[in-house]
Amino acid sequence: MEASYNILIIGGGIVGSSIAMALAEAGAKDIAVVDSDLSGTWGSSERNAGGVRATWSQPVNIALSKDAIAFYEQHAAEVGFHQQGYLWLYDEAGWRRGKAHRKTQAALGGVLEPLFPQEITKRFPFLDRLEGVYRAGFSPKDGLINPNLLKSYYRRRASAAGVTWIDRHAVEKITVKEKSVRRLHLREISSEDALRDFLITQKLAAESPVSTVEVKTLVNAAGAWAPRLSSLYGQKTPSTALRRQVSILHAQDLDLSAYGMIVDNSGLYFHHEGGNILAGYALPAEPPGYRLDYDRDSFFIQEIWPRLAKRSSNFDRLKPIGGWAGLYAVSPDSSAIIGQVDGFLNLYEAHAFSGHGVMQSYAVGRGLAELILEGRYRSIDLSMLSGHRFKTGKTVSETMLI
């Protein structure tokens, strides 16, 4: 394949798809998206827990999520958005530490209703074990979304506006000249085994076909694999891939469909999932790396069940029926890296979302499209999220993490 594009986006996950839609609907032409796994079999977008919230500590993260939530509200049925809120459970120390965050959220129009333990049990009667819970906060504008429906929605609109999608290809080489990316060599990924091997080892099979693509603008939206791509154009991206696991559980005679996301003070989070329960927990000692294996019963028995059982007698008898592992792309300050890449005239990036790519994807796509096409941010100023901040020390440290 010999081709040329005005704008080439590497990464067709939920962020790359949103960027493609925003650029195309803003009038950009000759846009293509390249991904090794467009179906999302192993992608972080498909392995997301589906939470959407504007409850953050940094104003720019609040603004991105609020803006995206307003869009999801307008298209709720199409993207599977259910605005049933987030319930945050706190111990006394955690509640006091979060005082500044609550003030920031309130100043930006957020709502976090404080609840005493007796009010928690009244509104969430299945939570009948609240030892160690001092207060709760309920954010009613937050909720749950179907990441697959949202990504498909972005792609439909992008395709209708003329975007081309290139599947089962990965970048092998990038030619840079005079501070601009000029040409990319794409190598085809010929099988499922080759795909999984590439995603884990980041090495491409030498015998598969290679094609050349000329570009005028390149966007790195490769998610957890963004550091590999940036190394091909001579940059080092401060982003780390970390495995995150979730379990799918069945609890007989317990229906949580009336509730949104529940975040325990232990770090456990859970919500209803198709008649069952999705529960996740970030292992503090998880080593960085491209691990896509799910620890199955050991993860459930050691990490999930004890924390759930501590909160409800309804969880005394849970049956694990599945689960999966996916990758977070984590930046040093747990906020995304978005903007023009230092030292390049035609290179942009949007990655390292540290677990909040789905919930911020709409606003990020629109913002980066503004920067590429107009040379400035018009809707939300995202300049503080430039990767340049790690050189200047002006980081955007996000602390409201799960």
Cα 273 to Cα 260: distance, rounded to the nearest angstrom = 10
- pLDDT at site 94: 95
Q: Which helix (H) or strand (E) holds 247?
A: strand 240-250
- pLDDT at site 206: 84
- pLDDT at site 45: 81
- pLDDT at site 49: 87
Judged on CB neighbours under 10 Å (0-12, 13-18, 19+), 365 is: buried
Give start-end residues of each CATH 3.50.50.60 domain in the chain: 2-47+148-238+333-392
Cα 12 to Cα 154: distance, rounded to the nearest angstrom = 10
One-letter amino acid for residue 216 of the chain: K
Q: Could you confirm whether domain 82-144+241-330 is CATH 2.40.30.10?
A: no
Nearest to 383 by CA among 14, 121, 60: 60
Residue pointed to by tokens 């090495």: 203
Could you give the angle at the alpha carbon of 93 between the alpha carbons of 88 and 96, nearest 5°? 75
Give start-end residues of each CATH 3.30.9.10 domain in the chain: 82-144+241-330
- pLDDT at site 42: 84
β-pairing, 210-220 vs 180-188, is antiparallel
In angstroms, the first-to-last Cα distance of the chain is 43
Which CATH number is associated with domain 2-47+148-238+333-392? 3.50.50.60
Nearest to 10 by CA among 176, 191, 165: 165
CB 223 within 8 A of CB 11: yes
- pLDDT at site 1: 55
What string of pLDDT tens digits covers the 402 residues of the chain? 589 999 999 999 999 999 999 999 999 999 999 999 998 888 888 888 899 999 999 999 999 999 999 999 999 999 999 999 999 999 999 999 999 899 999 999 998 999 999 999 999 999 999 999 999 999 999 999 999 999 999 999 999 999 999 999 999 999 999 999 999 999 999 999 999 999 999 999 888 899 999 999 999 999 999 999 999 999 999 999 999 999 999 998 899 999 999 999 999 999 999 999 999 999 999 999 999 999 999 999 999 999 999 999 999 889 999 999 999 999 999 999 999 999 999 999 999 999 999 999 999 999 999 999 999 999 999 999 999 999 999 999 999 998
pTM of the model: 0.96
CB 221 within 8 A of CB 22: no
Mind giving me the DSSP string for 148-195?
HHHHHHHHHHHHHTT-EEEESEEEEEEEEETTEEEEEEEEE--SHHHH
Cβ neighbours of residue 77 closer than 8 Å, sequence gap 6 or more: none
Cα 348 to Cα 331: distance, rounded to the nearest angstrom = 17
Give the three-state DSSP class for 114.
strand
Burial 216-245 (b: 16+ CB within 10 A, else e): ebbbbbbbbbbbbbbebbebebbbbbbbbb
- pLDDT at site 315: 93
Q: Which helix (H) or strand (E) holds 280?
A: strand 276-281
Cα 188 to Cα 209: distance, rounded to the nearest angstrom = 6
- Residue 186 tokens, joined: 């794409």
Nearest to 316 by CA among 246, 251, 248, 261: 251
